[in-house]
């Protein structure tokens, strides 16, 4: 049992890797009883999430807003057939997690999505997303309280 923050995305594709960048930025914050995980693009990370009381997933989400806009929704808001938001990697992680919830004890799962600006080869976030890092981290910390 515990709290988890999982960053999802491909850090080689600039803003697509925002989840990974965020969790690395959070490594210096003292968060007792919270596990910070860089999930990258690997679905195997799901094995680490069994019996989570609280799960916060951070990912790039195309919601039609301005670059850096922060979205908050529950895993339950995403249906397997029709999704209100489309991640740049089709929310396969969320679909897998929803299926996993059927057989495992996973508590509240919240997704913090960030509107990307640039999805191109590169290791750095766009300036808009770099500027929003404090607000993204604040949104996650609010979820953990």
What 8-state DSSP symbol labels residue 12?
T
Say what the pLDDT of residue 88 is: 42
pLDDT, tens digit (0-9, with 9 covering 90-100), for 31-44: 998 999 998 887 67
Alpha carbon 45 to chain centroid, angstroms: 13
- What's the predicted TM-score (pTM) here? 0.85
Query: What is the spatial distance between Cα 64 and Cα 18, in angstroms, rounded to a whole number?
Result: 17
Round to the nearest angstrom and report the end-to-end CA distance of the chain. Answer: 16
Query: Which range, 31-35, 37-41, 94-98, 132-136, is most confident?
Result: 132-136
Task: Look at residue 78 and tell me whether its pLDDT is greater than 90.
Answer: no
Q: Hey, how many other C-beta atoms are within 10 angstroms of the C-beta on 95?
A: 16
Going by C-alpha positions, the residue among 118, 15, 106 that lies closest to residue 56 is 106
pLDDT score recorded for residue 36: 94
Measured distance CA(24)–CA(7) in Å, rounded: 9
Tell me: the pLDDT tens digits for 55-66?
899 999 988 999
Q: In this predicted model, which residue has the larger pLDDT, 140 or 82?
A: 140
Helix (H, G, I), strand (E, B) or coil at 72: strand
| Cα dihedral 132→11→46→56 (10° resolution) | 0
Task: Say how many C-beta atoms besides its own lie within 10 A of residue 112's C-beta.
Answer: 24
The listed CATH number (1.10.3720.10, 3.40.50.720, 3.40.50.1450, 3.40.50.1970) that belongs to domain 3-144: 3.40.50.1450
Whether pLDDT at 117 is above 50:
yes
- Contact (CB, 8 A) for 50 and 106: yes
pLDDT at 93 (0 to 100): 65
Q: Is a pLDDT exceeding 60 seen at residue 84?
A: no
| Per-residue pLDDT tens digits for 3-56 | 999 999 999 999 999 999 999 999 989 999 899 999 888 767 777 777 788 989
Q: Which residue has the higher pLDDT, 48 or 95?
A: 48
Q: In whole angstroms, give the CA distance from residue 62 to residue 53.
A: 27
């Amino acid at each position: 049992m515990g709290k988890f923050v999982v960053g999802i995305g491909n850090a080689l594709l600039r803003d697509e890797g925002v989840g990974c960048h965020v969790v690395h930025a959070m490594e210096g914050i003292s968060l007792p009883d919270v596990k910070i995980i860089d999930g990258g693009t690997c679905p195997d990370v799901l094995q680490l999430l069994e019996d989570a009381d609280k799960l916060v997933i951070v990912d790039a989400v195309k919601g039609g807003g301005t670059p850096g806009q922060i979205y908050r929704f529950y895993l339950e808001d995403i249906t397997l057939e029709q999704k209100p938001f489309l991640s740049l990697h089709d929310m396969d992680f969320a679909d897998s997690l929803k299926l996993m919830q059927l057989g495992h004890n996973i508590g509240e799962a919240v997704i913090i999505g960030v509107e990307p600006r640039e999805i191109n080869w590169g290791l750095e976030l766009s300036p808009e997303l770099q500027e929003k890092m404090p607000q993204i981290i604040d949104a996650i910390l609010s979820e953990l309280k």
